[in-house]
């Protein structure tokens, strides 16, 4: 990625507010967060994104919050301190946008932003996105088999093969009862239910539940292996 000095960013964000906003945002995503990656040069964009998100500058606020959330999800302590003012402004905006989402995917993306601005650095970093596809690919910690964890339209199971195009060997998932979820997943589930996203709420009980490997019959915690893989 090429360096993005402040004058370059000023020119890039000044292009927003016209008929080519979609193109401008596409270029900004490509320059600052290419394929979901966050670079050191991504962080100076936070003041510009905050200005758009708050309406002080032209552009789409939701787009700005989503990009800022991805960048902040990769922030270390130094970045968090340096951009504390921007993060403090973005947090209530993201919470308001979360309440206004009308689809499960949009809800999950914005939920990750809320977590990022709150200072959570594990599940804000794209690891909740498997909830949208209702599957995760993980490694068995006992035998290293490559597994699919599925909890959608094809069923609820762990698979040692491609469960869509093949005839895999499967084993059951062991979701955590809602009352037994730890504080963070319990909160996320409650937020999903309040927003009317029951599929996301159900997926969280599987993500933070357990699974049995169909190859070695070893039991493991799904979320631990998602952290390892993603």
DSSP assignment of 50-76, as one string?
Answer: HHHHHTSSSS-HHHHHHHHHHHHHT--
Residue 102 near residue 113 (C-beta atoms within 8 A):
no
Tens of pLDDT, residue by residue over 101-146, are: 888 899 999 999 999 999 999 999 999 999 999 999 999 999 999 9
Tens of pLDDT, residue by residue over 153-175, are: 889 999 997 776 677 889 999 99
SS3 220: strand
Angle between helices 104-118 and 183-194 (to 10 degrees): 140
* Contacting residues for 12 by C-beta, under 8 A, at least 6 apart: 4, 24, 27, 28, 31
């Amino acid at each position: 990625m090429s360096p993005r000095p402040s004058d370059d960013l000023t020119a890039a964000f000044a292009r927003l507010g016209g008929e080519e906003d979609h193109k401008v945002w596409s270029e900004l995503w490509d320059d600052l967060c290419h394929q979901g990656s966050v670079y050191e040069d991504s962080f100076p964009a936070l003041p510009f994104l905050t200005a758009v998100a708050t309406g002080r500058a032209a552009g789409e606020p939701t787009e700005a919050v989503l990009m800022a959330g991805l960048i902040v999800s990769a922030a270390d302590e130094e970045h968090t301190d340096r951009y504390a003012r921007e993060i403090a402004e973005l947090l209530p905006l993201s919470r308001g946008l979360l309440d206004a989402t009308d689809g499960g995917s949009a809800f999950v993306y914005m939920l990750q932003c809320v977590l990022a601005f709150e200072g959570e650095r594990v599940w804000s970093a794209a690891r909740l996105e498997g909830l949208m596809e209702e599957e995760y690919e993980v490694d068995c910690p006992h035998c290293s088999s490559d597994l699919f964890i599925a909890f959608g339209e094809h069923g609820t199971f762990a698979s040692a093969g491609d469960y869509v195009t093949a005839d895999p060997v499967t084993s059951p998932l062991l979701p955590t009862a809602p009352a037994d979820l730890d504080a963070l997943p319990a909160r996320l589930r409650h937020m999903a239910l309040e927003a009317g996203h029951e599929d996301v709420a159900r997926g969280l009980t599987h993500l933070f539940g357990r699974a049995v490997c169909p190859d070695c019959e070893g039991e493991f915690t799904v979320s631990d292996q998602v952290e390892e893989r993603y």
